[in-house]
Chains A and B, each alone.
Chain A
């Protein structure tokens, strides 16, 4: 999956802001490239789990369908553990087309890793963070 430096910063800032709780959100895009970052509320308000607020999810689904965007990835933070999918992450996966970006805040610098999780099988996929064209000289 590909996202810009600014988008990655937005995700990390959201994850830091929600600490000590987990943060969660949806990265909408096309063809594996993120177009929009949706920072959603964690209905669990927990340091160890997340549940995307149903109202937020409904709004994101409505907007992405309207704008012909896909769920490129679902992101969440692990405030005190590594950026590896937990058993809970694997068990509760519902949208097989969406990748999973996990941001670990366990130590600095923070670590982000992306995975495909389908029917209990986990595969790490490349996470490509690109400079915006306007940044390239």
Chain B
């Protein structure tokens, strides 16, 4: 399935400054793997040591946060728009 992937600024140094990628993948997990194949080092910023989506990363397929759905197993269809979004956090600590 061919998907459009939105890459926000914090991740663009890993994608050769590309703001958008066109990726063939059947699931969100496959998509992360396909980006990793093209841009080595990408997956480790998105997934933790257990292969799960990192706490400060949110992945949306169209308007849906995959964390509240199928996670990395979320199926993709042609024309889906995937957004990989680093969270914004901080505070007095």
Contacts and interface: CB of A to CB of B under 8 A. Distances in A.
Interface residues of B, number: 20
Interface in B72-93: 83, 85-93
B91 A46 contact: yes
Which of B58, B67, B85, B87 has its CB near the most chain A CB atoms (within 10 A)?
Answer: B87
A88 B85 contact: no
A78 B58 CA distance: 25
Interface in B31-74: 56, 58, 60, 63, 65, 67
Given A58-B65, A61-B8, A95-B8, A78 B92 contact: yes
Given A54-B65, A96-B9, A61 B83 contact: yes
Interface range, A side = 35 or more
A136 interface: no
Interface stretch (A5-13, A29-37, A79-87, A126-134): A79-87
Given A22-B91, A88-B92, 8 more contacts: A48-B92, A48-B93, A50-B91, A52-B88, A52-B89, A54-B87, A88-B91, A97-B9
Interface of B: 6, 8-10, 56, 58, 60, 63, 65, 67, 83, 85-93
